[in-house]
Amino acid sequence: MDMPHGKPISFLVPYEDRLDLIETVDELKDKKLLGEIERARVEYKQGQSVPAERLFKKMGL
């Protein structure tokens, strides 16, 4: 790995891991999805369950 001025300029990542990273970044850009995740976390902390129907609907199943 070239390191001009002590700073790395590149790194290798397996292709499948790269695809996973891209998918994760895309999900983090989805404000609606992030809101749903936060809502589910709050409900879980309150001892409530998240209905499977709501999850399946969000997943398009």
* Strands annotated E in 1-61: none
Q: Which residue has the tokens 């989805």?
A: 30
* N- to C-terminal Cα separation, the chain: 45
Q: Taking the domains of the chain in order of start, what are their residue ranges?
A: 12-59
pTM here is 0.47
Q: Which residue has the tokens 């399946």?
A: 56
DSSP state of 59: H
Q: pLDDT tens, 2-61?
A: 566 788 888 899 999 999 999 999 888 989 888 888 888 898 899 887 678 877 887 777
